[in-house]
Amino acid sequence: MKVLILGAKGQLGCDLVKTLAQDAVVAPARADLDICDFGQASRWLTEVKPDVVINTAAFHKVEECEEKPDRAFQVNAVAVGHLARACAAHHAVMVHISTDYVFDGRQCHPYREQDAPNPANVYGVSKLAGEYLVRQGCPRHFIVRTSGLFGVAGASGKGGNFAELMIRLAREGKPIRVVADQVLTPTYTRDLAQKIKELVRTDAYGLYHITSSGQCSWYEFAGKIFALLRRQPDFSPTTTAAFGSSVTRPAYSVLEHGGLHRAGIPDMRTWWQALEAYLTEKGHLAGTHAKAA
Protein backbone atom coordinates (compact mmCIF):
# COMPACT_ATOMS: atom_id res chain seq x y z
CA MET A 1 0.00 0.00 0.00
CA LYS A 2 1.35 3.44 -0.93
CA VAL A 3 0.55 6.16 1.62
CA LEU A 4 0.97 9.93 1.25
CA ILE A 5 1.14 11.69 4.64
CA LEU A 6 0.55 15.44 4.90
CA GLY A 7 1.86 17.13 8.04
CA ALA A 8 4.47 14.40 8.53
CA LYS A 9 6.66 16.56 10.79
CA GLY A 10 3.95 16.95 13.45
CA GLN A 11 3.65 14.61 16.42
CA LEU A 12 0.94 12.44 14.85
CA GLY A 13 2.54 12.61 11.40
CA CYS A 14 5.89 11.42 12.75
CA ASP A 15 4.27 8.45 14.49
CA LEU A 16 2.30 7.59 11.35
CA VAL A 17 5.52 7.50 9.34
CA LYS A 18 7.03 5.08 11.89
CA THR A 19 3.90 2.96 12.24
CA LEU A 20 3.38 2.60 8.49
CA ALA A 21 7.06 1.98 7.77
CA GLN A 22 6.32 -1.40 6.18
CA ASP A 23 4.17 0.34 3.59
CA ALA A 24 5.46 2.62 0.83
CA VAL A 25 5.26 5.93 2.70
CA VAL A 26 5.76 9.30 1.03
CA ALA A 27 6.05 12.13 3.57
CA PRO A 28 6.86 15.48 1.92
CA ALA A 29 7.91 18.47 3.98
CA ARG A 30 5.55 21.42 4.12
CA ALA A 31 7.95 23.38 1.91
CA ASP A 32 7.41 20.77 -0.78
CA LEU A 33 3.67 20.27 -0.36
CA ASP A 34 1.59 23.08 1.09
CA ILE A 35 -1.99 21.90 1.56
CA CYS A 36 -3.22 25.36 0.56
CA ASP A 37 -1.48 25.16 -2.81
CA PHE A 38 -4.18 23.20 -4.62
CA GLY A 39 -2.24 22.73 -7.84
CA GLN A 40 0.79 21.49 -5.94
CA ALA A 41 -1.29 19.00 -3.96
CA SER A 42 -2.90 17.66 -7.12
CA ARG A 43 0.48 17.27 -8.81
CA TRP A 44 1.77 15.24 -5.86
CA LEU A 45 -1.19 12.89 -6.11
CA THR A 46 -0.65 12.55 -9.86
CA GLU A 47 3.04 11.70 -9.42
CA VAL A 48 2.84 9.53 -6.28
CA LYS A 49 -0.41 7.72 -7.13
CA PRO A 50 -1.11 6.91 -3.46
CA ASP A 51 -3.67 4.36 -2.33
CA VAL A 52 -4.25 6.38 0.84
CA VAL A 53 -3.76 10.05 1.68
CA ILE A 54 -3.59 10.92 5.40
CA ASN A 55 -4.08 14.59 6.21
CA THR A 56 -2.78 15.64 9.62
CA ALA A 57 -2.08 19.23 8.53
CA ALA A 58 -4.13 21.88 10.31
CA PHE A 59 -4.15 25.41 11.69
CA HIS A 60 -4.64 24.33 15.30
CA LYS A 61 -3.59 27.27 17.46
CA VAL A 62 -6.98 27.91 18.98
CA GLU A 63 -6.38 31.52 20.02
CA GLU A 64 -4.90 32.43 16.65
CA CYS A 65 -7.89 30.91 14.89
CA GLU A 66 -10.08 33.49 16.65
CA GLU A 67 -7.77 36.27 15.48
CA LYS A 68 -7.31 34.89 11.95
CA PRO A 69 -10.56 33.17 10.97
CA ASP A 70 -9.80 33.52 7.27
CA ARG A 71 -6.60 31.55 7.71
CA ALA A 72 -8.36 28.95 9.88
CA PHE A 73 -10.99 28.30 7.21
CA GLN A 74 -8.45 28.35 4.39
CA VAL A 75 -6.34 25.61 6.00
CA ASN A 76 -8.94 23.59 7.92
CA ALA A 77 -11.80 23.72 5.41
CA VAL A 78 -11.17 25.12 1.92
CA ALA A 79 -7.85 23.33 1.37
CA VAL A 80 -9.29 20.14 2.85
CA GLY A 81 -12.20 20.26 0.41
CA HIS A 82 -9.86 20.60 -2.57
CA LEU A 83 -7.73 17.73 -1.24
CA ALA A 84 -10.82 15.54 -0.85
CA ARG A 85 -11.85 16.12 -4.46
CA ALA A 86 -8.30 15.44 -5.63
CA CYS A 87 -8.28 12.16 -3.70
CA ALA A 88 -11.54 11.12 -5.32
CA ALA A 89 -10.24 12.05 -8.78
CA HIS A 90 -7.11 9.94 -8.21
CA HIS A 91 -9.04 7.02 -6.67
CA ALA A 92 -7.30 7.42 -3.30
CA VAL A 93 -8.79 6.84 0.13
CA MET A 94 -8.64 9.98 2.28
CA VAL A 95 -8.00 9.96 6.03
CA HIS A 96 -8.67 13.32 7.66
CA ILE A 97 -7.86 14.15 11.29
CA SER A 98 -10.48 16.20 13.12
CA THR A 99 -11.12 17.21 16.70
CA ASP A 100 -13.28 16.93 19.81
CA TYR A 101 -13.73 20.70 19.51
CA VAL A 102 -16.58 20.15 17.03
CA PHE A 103 -18.71 19.72 20.20
CA ASP A 104 -19.70 22.47 22.63
CA GLY A 105 -19.05 20.35 25.75
CA ARG A 106 -22.43 20.94 27.37
CA GLN A 107 -23.31 17.29 27.89
CA CYS A 108 -21.78 15.15 30.63
CA HIS A 109 -21.45 11.77 28.92
CA PRO A 110 -19.17 10.75 26.01
CA TYR A 111 -20.08 12.08 22.59
CA ARG A 112 -21.03 9.49 19.97
CA GLU A 113 -20.31 9.80 16.27
CA GLN A 114 -24.07 10.23 15.76
CA ASP A 115 -24.35 13.22 18.11
CA ALA A 116 -24.94 16.60 16.47
CA PRO A 117 -21.84 18.82 16.48
CA ASN A 118 -22.07 22.35 17.84
CA PRO A 119 -18.61 23.94 17.94
CA ALA A 120 -18.06 26.89 20.27
CA ASN A 121 -15.04 28.54 18.65
CA VAL A 122 -13.57 29.34 15.24
CA TYR A 123 -11.18 26.40 15.32
CA GLY A 124 -14.03 23.96 15.93
CA VAL A 125 -16.24 25.52 13.25
CA SER A 126 -13.43 25.43 10.68
CA LYS A 127 -12.62 21.79 11.46
CA LEU A 128 -16.29 20.81 11.22
CA ALA A 129 -16.52 22.56 7.85
CA GLY A 130 -13.53 20.49 6.74
CA GLU A 131 -15.32 17.30 7.80
CA TYR A 132 -18.36 18.18 5.69
CA LEU A 133 -16.19 18.92 2.67
CA VAL A 134 -14.41 15.57 3.01
CA ARG A 135 -17.75 13.76 3.12
CA GLN A 136 -18.95 15.65 0.07
CA GLY A 137 -15.74 15.44 -1.95
CA CYS A 138 -14.37 11.94 -1.35
CA PRO A 139 -16.76 8.99 -0.90
CA ARG A 140 -13.98 6.67 0.31
CA HIS A 141 -12.92 8.52 3.45
CA PHE A 142 -12.14 8.09 7.12
CA ILE A 143 -12.71 11.11 9.36
CA VAL A 144 -10.96 10.62 12.70
CA ARG A 145 -11.91 12.87 15.60
CA THR A 146 -9.43 12.78 18.44
CA SER A 147 -8.46 14.74 21.54
CA GLY A 148 -5.56 16.16 23.59
CA LEU A 149 -2.71 14.75 21.51
CA PHE A 150 0.74 14.16 22.97
CA GLY A 151 3.60 12.56 21.09
CA VAL A 152 7.37 12.36 21.10
CA ALA A 153 7.80 14.80 18.19
CA GLY A 154 5.74 17.52 19.89
CA ALA A 155 3.03 19.59 18.26
CA SER A 156 4.19 21.34 15.11
CA GLY A 157 4.01 25.09 15.68
CA LYS A 158 3.31 24.77 19.41
CA GLY A 159 6.82 24.05 20.63
CA GLY A 160 5.98 20.75 22.31
CA ASN A 161 2.85 19.51 24.04
CA PHE A 162 1.07 19.76 27.38
CA ALA A 163 3.21 17.10 29.07
CA GLU A 164 6.45 18.80 28.06
CA LEU A 165 5.11 22.18 29.21
CA MET A 166 4.28 20.76 32.65
CA ILE A 167 7.72 19.16 32.93
CA ARG A 168 9.46 22.38 31.95
CA LEU A 169 7.48 24.47 34.43
CA ALA A 170 8.20 21.98 37.22
CA ARG A 171 11.93 22.08 36.46
CA GLU A 172 11.87 25.87 36.51
CA GLY A 173 10.20 25.84 39.92
CA LYS A 174 7.39 28.11 38.77
CA PRO A 175 3.89 27.99 40.27
CA ILE A 176 1.68 25.83 38.06
CA ARG A 177 -2.05 26.45 37.74
CA VAL A 178 -4.06 24.07 35.57
CA VAL A 179 -7.76 24.14 34.74
CA ALA A 180 -9.79 21.48 36.50
CA ASP A 181 -13.13 22.12 34.78
CA GLN A 182 -12.27 20.92 31.26
CA VAL A 183 -12.60 17.13 30.91
CA LEU A 184 -11.24 15.22 27.93
CA THR A 185 -9.17 12.17 27.00
CA PRO A 186 -5.47 12.84 26.42
CA THR A 187 -4.33 10.67 23.52
CA TYR A 188 -0.89 9.28 22.73
CA THR A 189 -0.11 9.75 19.04
CA ARG A 190 1.80 6.46 18.79
CA ASP A 191 -1.35 4.56 19.82
CA LEU A 192 -3.53 6.68 17.56
CA ALA A 193 -1.25 5.99 14.59
CA GLN A 194 -1.62 2.25 15.20
CA LYS A 195 -5.43 2.51 15.18
CA ILE A 196 -5.35 4.51 11.95
CA LYS A 197 -3.16 1.79 10.45
CA GLU A 198 -5.73 -0.83 11.42
CA LEU A 199 -8.60 1.30 10.13
CA VAL A 200 -7.18 1.98 6.66
CA ARG A 201 -6.84 -1.76 6.10
CA THR A 202 -10.63 -1.99 6.14
CA ASP A 203 -13.26 -0.60 3.81
CA ALA A 204 -15.44 0.55 6.73
CA TYR A 205 -15.41 4.17 5.58
CA GLY A 206 -16.95 6.93 7.65
CA LEU A 207 -16.60 8.93 10.86
CA TYR A 208 -14.68 7.61 13.86
CA HIS A 209 -13.96 8.82 17.37
CA ILE A 210 -10.51 7.53 18.34
CA THR A 211 -8.85 8.45 21.63
CA SER A 212 -7.13 6.70 24.49
CA SER A 213 -9.50 5.09 27.01
CA GLY A 214 -10.73 6.89 30.09
CA GLN A 215 -11.14 10.57 30.88
CA CYS A 216 -9.64 13.27 33.09
CA SER A 217 -9.37 17.01 33.54
CA TRP A 218 -6.26 18.85 32.46
CA TYR A 219 -5.47 19.21 36.18
CA GLU A 220 -5.73 15.45 36.71
CA PHE A 221 -3.57 14.87 33.65
CA ALA A 222 -0.88 17.19 35.02
CA GLY A 223 -1.13 15.52 38.42
CA LYS A 224 -0.47 12.11 36.88
CA ILE A 225 2.56 13.49 35.04
CA PHE A 226 4.03 14.78 38.30
CA ALA A 227 3.19 11.56 40.15
CA LEU A 228 4.94 9.41 37.54
CA LEU A 229 7.97 11.70 37.63
CA ARG A 230 7.88 11.83 41.44
CA ARG A 231 7.86 15.59 41.44
CA GLN A 232 6.05 17.86 43.87
CA PRO A 233 5.90 21.28 42.25
CA ASP A 234 3.85 24.27 43.40
CA PHE A 235 0.75 22.91 41.68
CA SER A 236 -2.92 23.80 42.13
CA PRO A 237 -6.21 23.75 40.21
CA THR A 238 -7.90 26.72 38.67
CA THR A 239 -11.02 27.35 36.59
CA THR A 240 -11.42 28.22 32.96
CA ALA A 241 -12.90 31.58 33.97
CA ALA A 242 -9.99 32.38 36.29
CA PHE A 243 -7.49 31.34 33.65
CA GLY A 244 -8.83 34.16 31.54
CA SER A 245 -8.72 32.65 28.06
CA SER A 246 -10.45 34.66 25.34
CA VAL A 247 -11.55 31.43 23.61
CA THR A 248 -14.56 29.32 24.57
CA ARG A 249 -13.50 25.69 25.01
CA PRO A 250 -15.72 22.66 25.64
CA ALA A 251 -16.01 21.80 29.33
CA TYR A 252 -16.53 18.13 28.46
CA SER A 253 -15.31 16.59 25.21
CA VAL A 254 -14.83 12.89 25.92
CA LEU A 255 -15.51 10.79 22.82
CA GLU A 256 -17.23 7.40 22.72
CA HIS A 257 -15.66 4.79 20.43
CA GLY A 258 -18.75 3.19 18.90
CA GLY A 259 -17.39 3.32 15.36
CA LEU A 260 -14.28 1.37 16.28
CA HIS A 261 -16.37 -1.25 18.07
CA ARG A 262 -18.63 -1.66 15.04
CA ALA A 263 -15.55 -2.10 12.85
CA GLY A 264 -14.25 -4.82 15.19
CA ILE A 265 -11.26 -2.75 16.30
CA PRO A 266 -10.50 -2.80 20.05
CA ASP A 267 -10.06 0.30 22.19
CA MET A 268 -6.69 1.81 22.86
CA ARG A 269 -5.08 1.49 26.30
CA THR A 270 -5.91 4.04 28.98
CA TRP A 271 -4.50 7.55 28.84
CA TRP A 272 -2.47 6.97 32.01
CA GLN A 273 -0.89 3.79 30.64
CA ALA A 274 -0.11 5.65 27.43
CA LEU A 275 1.32 8.56 29.41
CA GLU A 276 3.74 6.28 31.23
CA ALA A 277 4.83 4.79 27.90
CA TYR A 278 5.30 8.28 26.48
CA LEU A 279 7.38 9.49 29.42
CA THR A 280 9.54 6.38 29.13
CA GLU A 281 10.00 6.85 25.37
CA LYS A 282 11.03 10.48 25.94
CA GLY A 283 13.55 9.43 28.57
CA HIS A 284 11.85 11.22 31.45
CA LEU A 285 11.41 7.98 33.39
CA ALA A 286 14.87 6.52 32.83
CA GLY A 287 16.04 4.84 36.02
CA THR A 288 12.60 4.80 37.64
CA HIS A 289 10.08 2.01 38.19
CA ALA A 290 8.44 2.56 34.76
CA LYS A 291 8.54 -0.10 32.10
CA ALA A 292 9.29 0.65 28.48
CA ALA A 293 6.39 0.67 26.05
Predicted local confidence at residue 239, as pLDDT? 94
Predicted local confidence at residue 289, as pLDDT? 43
Say what the alpha-carbon torsion angle 98, 99, 103, 104 is, to the nearest 10 degrees: -140
Q: Whats the size of the chain, residue-wise?
A: 293
Counting beta carbons within 10 angstroms of the beta carbon of residue 202, is it exposed (0 to 12), middle (13 to 18) or buried (19 or more)?
exposed
Average pLDDT, the chain: 93
Stretch 79-95: mean pLDDT = 97
pTM exceeds 0.85:
yes
**Helix (H, G, I), strand (E, B), or coil: what is residue 135?**
helix
Stretch 141-148: mean pLDDT = 98
Predicted local confidence at residue 291, as pLDDT? 40
- Residue at 12: amino acid letter: L
pLDDT in tens, 210-263: 999 999 999 999 999 999 999 999 999 999 999 888 899 999 999 999 999 999
| pLDDT of 288 higher than 50 | no
Angstrom distance (rounded) from CA 35 to CA 58? 9
Stretch 97-117: mean pLDDT = 97
Angstrom distance (rounded) from CA 40 to CA 46? 10
Superfamily of structural domain 2-158+185-214+253-269: NAD(P)-binding Rossmann-like Domain (3.40.50.720)
Residues that are catalytic: 123
Q: Could you tell me the residue ranges of all domains in the chain?
A: 2-158+185-214+253-269
Stretch 132-150: mean pLDDT = 97
Instruction: Report which of 17, 287, 84 is spatially closest to residue 8, judged by C-alpha positions.
Output: 17
